[in-house]
Amino acid sequence: MNALLMLLFATTGGLALSGIVANIYRLLARKPKSSPERVFYLSVMTLAGPSVLIDNATRSFRRKDCSSIAYLFAIGLTTYWSFALGWLLIVLQRHL
- Cβ distance 62 to 71 under 8 Å? no
- Cβ distance 38 to 32 under 8 Å? yes
Mention every residue, 6+ apart, whose C-beta is less than 8 A from residue 74.
53, 54, 57, 66
Q: Which amino acid is at 51?
A: S
What is the per-residue pLDDT across 4-18, written as a single tens digit (0 to 9) for each? 999 999 999 999 999
pTM of this structure: 0.88
- Measured CA to CA, the distance from residue 77 to residue 45 in angstroms comes to 14
- Cβ distance 9 to 94 under 8 Å? no
Mention every residue, 6+ apart, whose C-beta is less than 8 A from residue 89.
10, 13, 14, 17
What is the per-residue pLDDT across 39-82, written as a single tens digit (0 to 9) for each? 999 999 999 999 999 999 999 999 999 999 999 999 999 999 99
